[in-house]
Amino acid sequence: MLLVLSDEHKEHLGFLPEVDSAVVGEFGRIAVEFLRKGTNPKIYEGAARKLSVDAETVQHGVEGLMYLLTESSKLMISEVDFQDSVLVLGFTEDLNQLLLQLYLENRKEIRHILGELTPSLPHYHNLEWRLDVQLASRALRQQVKPTVTMKLHLEESGGDKSAKVLQTDPATLMHLIQELEKALAELKTTHCRRILRNIK
Amino acid sequence: MRFRFCGDLDCPDWVLAEISTLTKISSVKMKLLCVQVLKDLLGEGIDYDKVSKLTADAKFENGDMKASVAVLTFILSSAAKHDVASESLSSELQQLGLPKEHTTGLCKSYEDKHIALQEKLRESSLRLGRLEGVSWRVDYTLSSSELQEVNEPTVQLCLQTQGAETGNTETTIVSVSADKFRVLLTELKQAQAMMNALQ
């Protein structure tokens, strides 16, 4: 499928043919670095001074490249489609080849970064547990009541940690274990296997 | 195959793989590595420079070094957790393929420190809301806006606890009248008597 570029995007990328291919390569490298670690406006100013153009033009050029790369990686378009989409910009053959190389080399990494942007629930980090026996309380002496106390440590994708304290008696714990084993066993049913086979 | 030091379960595959990495260093170096790992488990911190010097002869990469530290940590802490005797640990490790000299070195270090290790593991077991500090004050109320002559002693208790879920210090302040405090004290003394009976 072809990538449709908006007019504003084409205008931003229109800056690229005006500089040499070495500079475009450098912009490509900066664009990938920004995708990895976040933007750094100082670089725009440094580049703008060296090329004697506006910092804003440089910024638009780099951001246009970043957007081109993320959209192509997101849709996982083939080489031919990428070349056709870039052809519409009216760049030279060399520039097209350069952009294609940039896309192919960094596609996997960009997809990995994009994959991490999905919203996620807190996930398992650690589970501490303890087995106690309650022997007496203020209200009743001479008891024997076993309990399992658990502290479930969770981690969000941003690195925030939280902990939940849970307590259960052994019978409920057995039931919990059985339910979880049933959930794992679901993976081995024919229905699930059929779906997994088709995805792979 | 069930192993006592793994808690009567199968030995994890990665442990089997890394035991073969351990055989690459000499038994003397391995004993010194065990000493370092035990220091780390007892909370004294591990000196990675010493570890890299010990493993430099066998030309361990960064990954191999971390793997050998990890496998020794697992073996020693797991053996202490399940209270495995030194001889059975030695025979099980030899079954897994660790050479005799390495096994003897490891088991000797384990035997020396296993009580201290179990103490440390006992301390780090799950405990919710530990009591960190208690401070108290006895006041005598002379009079108040409600009644002119009150003449009553009260106790102010300040309890500092570690939050169960967050782990941050929480402070609770309560003021207790004389009668209520007497009841509290009796009940707590009964609980203490019960705890002493169990020990």
DSSP assignment of B105-120, as one string? Answer: HHHHHHHHHHHHHHHH
Looking at residue B192, its pLDDT comes to 94
All residues of chain B having their beta carbon less than 8 Å from the beta carbon of residue A150 are 126
CB within 8 Å: A165 and B167: no
Both structure tokens of A150: 């658990």
Both structure tokens of B170: 């929480």
More confident residue, A86 or A125: A125
Looking at residue A61, its pLDDT comes to 80
Looking at residue B157, its pLDDT comes to 94
Looking at residue B34, its pLDDT comes to 86
Question: Touching check for A151 and chain B: CB below 8 Å?
Answer: yes
Give A141's strand partners: none
Looking at residue A168, its pLDDT comes to 93
Q: Which residue among B126, B194, B198 places its CB closest to the CB of A129? A: B126
Looking at residue B101, its pLDDT comes to 87
Looking at residue B139, its pLDDT comes to 93
Closest approach of chain A CAs to the CA of B137, in angstroms? 26
Give CA–CA dist B117/B81, Å, rounded: 9
Cα dihedral across residues A129, A135, A137, A143: positive or negative: positive
**Alpha-helical regions (H) of chain A:** 7-13, 21-37, 41-51, 55-75, 79-87, 93-115, 170-185, 190-199
Question: Touching check for A84 and chain B: CB below 8 Å?
Answer: no
- pLDDT more than 70, % of chain A: 100
Looking at residue A160, its pLDDT comes to 83
Looking at residue A87, its pLDDT comes to 79
CA geometry: angle at A160 spanning A159 and A162, to 5°? 135
Looking at residue A8, its pLDDT comes to 81
Looking at residue B185, its pLDDT comes to 94
Segment (H or E) for B177: strand B169-177
Closest approach of chain B CAs to the CA of A91, in angstroms? 47
All residues of chain B having their beta carbon less than 8 Å from the beta carbon of residue A161 are none
Pairing of strands A161-168, A145-155: antiparallel
Q: Which residues in chain B land under pLDDT 70?
A: none
Looking at residue A34, its pLDDT comes to 83
CB within 8 Å: B126 and A128: yes
What pTM was computed for the model? Answer: 0.68
Q: Which residue among B126, B187, B194 places its CB closest to the CB of A151? A: B126
C-alpha distance from residue B99 to each of B87, B179, B188 (Å): 15, 69, 56
Is the ipTM above a cut-off of 0.85?
no
More confident residue, B31 or A159: B31
Q: Name the pLDDT band for A97 (thresholds 50, 70, 90).
A: confident
Give CA–CA dist A162/B94, Å, rounded: 42
Mean pLDDT lowest for which of A14-23, A180-189, B91-100?
A: A14-23
More confident residue, B151 or A38: B151
